[in-house]
Amino acid sequence: MRAVSVHPDALVVTSPMWQTNATVLRAGGETMLVDSPYFPHELEALPEVLASAGFEPDALIATHADFDHLLGRVAFPALALGLGESSVERIHRDPGGAQRELRDYDATLYVERPGPLALGQVQSLPVPGSVEVGDRELELHPAEGHTADGMAIFARWCGVLCVGDYVSKVEIPWISASGSATDYRATLARLAPLIEAAETIVPGHGPQHDRDTALRLLEEDVEYLEALERDREGAKLPKGRDTKSQREIHAENVSRV
């Protein structure tokens, strides 16, 4: 697990598993943890790692309800977990779904956990909307397409934009079973002006970007989605992301367009 300061009030923690990012944001004496690392030993060490850097979370929030973004509750079981309204609805539609997927991936990777993922009560957040962190506000923006739920989280006071599973250097646009290419393109259109206003863009997976890099990746993603809808199997993958794993994702996308 790697921790990188991107602003005096923002820290990005990255797990080697899928280069999964968690972002810690601080304002006015309060701290929010966005998303989570993956492995049990990372989650066990996370409170001490953050405390040593001067970040002690008061609350948790997740960009969407995929299991690899919900594990902050394991590291901080006493804290409230905030999710966008669409994510709360997703959890209610499929109770235990995230836990089953986590168990399946853990079994594949030979990962053992001390206990099952317990989400408990979650707080439903209005999207679009905002949530307070100390004397500041986190902006919550709709971000559907990868899945049927999701939100981007903008800490405008420190220029940090957490986009969830979008605008990644290591992943092509991934349309899950509940996702939509149309919604995905609409999310990219909403993200563009937010990226223009941000200093650091943190995707769900892969390295964080500066503004210019994120805008270039966003443009490549729009071009890929347009080609996918037009040419299906013949759509070319974005440069630098034409790997075996991303070709497998492309095959899934083709079946869902």
162-171 per-position pLDDT tens digit: 999 999 999 9
Number of residues written out for the chain = 257
192-240 per-position pLDDT tens digit: 999 999 999 999 999 999 999 999 999 999 999 999 999 998 999 999 9
Taking residues 142-147, report their average pLDDT. Answer: 97
6-55 per-position pLDDT tens digit: 999 999 999 999 999 999 999 999 999 999 999 999 999 999 999 999 99
Cis peptide before 128 (omega within 30 of 0): yes
Share of the chain above pLDDT 70, in %: 100
Long-range interactions of 122-126: CB distance < 8 A, separation 24+: 122/80, 122/81, 122/82, 122/83, 122/88, 122/91, 123/80, 123/81, 123/82, 123/83, 124/82, 124/83, 124/84, 124/85, 124/88, 125/61, 125/82, 125/83, 125/84, 125/85, 125/151, 126/85
Q: For position 120, what pLDDT does the model report?
A: 82
Residue 121 has pLDDT above 90, yes or no: no
User: Distance from first CA to last CA of the chain, Å, rounded?
Assistant: 36
pTM (two decimals): 0.95
CATH of 2-256, one of 3.60.15.10, 2.60.120.380, 3.30.565.10, 3.40.50.300: 3.60.15.10
Q: Which amino acid is at 22?
A: A
Taking residues 109-116, report their average pLDDT. Answer: 94
Q: For position 257, what pLDDT does the model report?
A: 87
48-59 per-position pLDDT tens digit: 999 999 999 999
